[in-house]
Structures are given as C-alpha cells and as structure tokens.
Structure 1
Amino acid sequence: MMILLLLMFLCGGWVFCSNRKHLLIVLLSLEFIVLILYFSIYYGFCMFNYELYFITLFISFSVCEGALGLSILVSMVRSHGNDYFSGFGMLQC
C-alpha cells in the first residue's frame, strides 16, 4: 500500500515539474499531491490507532489552498484571457 502511495506521489510530482504551460494543470497536480498526502497520513494514523483530529485540520487547510488557487486562476483568466504562463509577466500588476 505504501509503495502504491509513493508511486502516485512521485507521478504527481513529475506532472507538476514537467508541465509548466497551463496554470490549471499545475493546480490539479498540486491537488493530486495533497490528496495522496492525505491518504498516506490517514493510513499511517489508522495503522497506529491515533486520533484523527489532525486529518480534519489537514483537509480543511487543503480545501482553503484549493479555493485560493482557483480564485487566482479565475482572476488570471479574467485579466489575461487564458491560463498560459508564457503570456503572463510576473512583474506586472
């Protein structure tokens, strides 16, 4: 089980590092990595019979991170018309 989670984590990291054109693909790969981290922490806590309060805190922070990324994507599409990184200068307001 842990080898499968590690393989999925590495696949998500590979997609995050290799695809740098679209912001949506980068955000989806980050959410995939967070989801794999959630499953691995949950698996570890259940294996050792720990309390699951940290899991609730982790998933709430990951939801906030996803909402922030989606709002940045929407504001970028509204201001520039697409989600390409090449057409977006990081120094302009």
Structure 2
Amino acid sequence: MLVYFLISVVFLSLFSFCLNRKHLLSLLLSLEFIALSLFGLIVLKFSYYNYESFFLMVFLTFAVCEGSLGLSILVSMVRTHGNDYFSSFNVLW
C-alpha cells in the first residue's frame, strides 16, 4: 500500500514538474520532491530484499548536490535578472 502511494507521489510530482514552467523555484521544489519520493521507494525496496544501505547514502549525496546546484543557479539568476521567471530570461543574450 505504501509503495502505491509513493509511486503515485512520483507521478504527481512529475506532472507538476511538467506543468510549472514559469518559476525556477517551483521547478526546483518539484525536483526535490521527486528525489525524496524515489528515496522512499528505494528504502522500501532495499529493506524488502535486505540489501546493503551504502547505495542510499550515494543517492542522498547526489540529491543534495542537485539541490545545491539548483539553488546556486536560482541565486545567480535572481541577482542578474531580479526574479526567477523564465520569460524574463533571454537565452540568446
């Protein structure tokens, strides 16, 4: 039952990731929510098969690195452009 809930959370967060394309902060939050729900699924799967938990730490390390990289991009975008709207960010500049 918990596995179905986590799978539905992954799909809902992917759906919100596809729909929220205005703000960078909402995209980063949905990416972190995807990483957190995938971590929950991996924990359940590894506890079911009694695997080693070393991969969980590697996964969490990559999730933290992804979050810090996204926040640094958000800060630099807000400092240069004043907001986090994608419409005001010109890629061809």
Could you tell me how far apart the structure 2 residues matched to 1:13 and 1:62 are? 16
The aligned amino acid for 1:43 is L
Q: Please, which runs of 5 or more residues in structure 1 have no aligned partner?
A: none
Residue type matched to 1:75 in 2?
S
1:90 to partner: Cα distance: 1.8
User: Aligned residue pairs: how many?
Assistant: 92
**Unaligned runs of at least 5 residues, structure 2:** none
In 2, the alpha carbon distance for the partners of 1:81 and 1:42 equals 40
Determine helix, strand or coil for the equivalent of 1:91.
coil
Letter of the structure 2 residue corresponding to residue 68 of structure 1 = L
**What is the match of residue 39 of structure 1?**
40
Percent identical among aligned pairs is 54
The separation in 1 between residues aligned to 2:83 and 2:91, in whole angstroms, is 15
Residue 10 of structure 1 deviates from its aligned partner by 0.7
CA distance in 1, matches of 2:85, 2:3: 35
Partner of 2:5: 4
Could you tell me how far 1:91 is from its partner in structure 2? 2.5
Residue identity opposite 2:77 in structure 1: M
Distance 2:37 2:78 in 1: 28
**What corresponds to 2:64 in structure 1?**
63
User: TM-score when scaled to structure 1?
Assistant: 0.96
Aligned match of 1:85:
86
- Once residues 73 and 35 of structure 2 are traced to their aligned partners in structure 1, the CA distance between those partners, rounded to angstroms, is 18
Number of the residue aligned with 2:21: 20
